[in-house]
Structure 1
Amino acid sequence: MHPMATDQIKVLLFARLSEQAGWREQNLPISKHSTPEAIWQQLKLGPPGVMPAQVRIAINQQFAALDTPLHPGDELAFMPAISGG
């Protein structure tokens, strides 16, 4: 595992989100009150103020809510929902 600054998280994007952003993985600084929703807005991957319902969030490989507090060293992933039939 690579050392990471204590005030950062690893952000992962999957599928079309990665294609849209042009990257798959980045380390980003966080503040004391960072949440997945705040990081999503910071990344500007969609319209301002809107996080698509079809985007799933995971923190440390566990599904999480938009308002879950983030902690230094966390891994935050944004994934489009997988449709199936």
Structure 2
Amino acid sequence: MIDLLYFAWVRERVGAPRERLETQAATVMELIAELKQREERYAWAFGDLTSLRVAVDQELASFEAPLAGVREVAFFPPMTGG
């Protein structure tokens, strides 16, 4: 089981701040593809990956990051400083 966390507009589009998911996905990109097949709200949330960042077990990661042994994946928009 992997805990998925959604922040900012990603949370608004998915309609929940978090969920727990059983997945066979090997990478974050495979997980996203799986989510997009579930429901239209996920397809909308993950439609433009250029405006999305991901953290795997609280470390920034790429969409090609492996999921073996991972407990948590978080999705959020790019952060800006100020």
Distance 1:70 1:40 in 2: 12
Structure 2: unaligned runs, 5 residues or longer: 37-41
Q: Which runs of 4+ in 1 moved over 3 A?
A: none
Pairing 1:1-85 to 2, within 5 Å after superposition: 8-31=1-24, 33-44=25-36, 45-46=42-43, 51-84=48-81
Distance of 1:55 and 1:38 partners within structure 2: 15
Kindly tell me the number of residue pairs found equivalent between the two proteins.
Answer: 76
Structure 1 pair 58/20, CA: closer, same or farther in 2 (3 Å)? same
Structure with larger Rg: 1
Gaps in structure 1 of 5+ consecutive residues: 1-7
Quote the RMSD (CA, aligned, Å): 2.2
Higher helix proportion, which one?
2
Structure 1 CA distance for aligned equivalents of residues 57 and 4 of structure 2: 10
Give the percent of matched residue pairs that are identical in Structure 1 and Structure 2: 29
Q: Distance in 2 between matches of 1:38 and 1:58?
A: 15
Q: So what's the TM-score if we normalise by structure 1?
A: 0.74
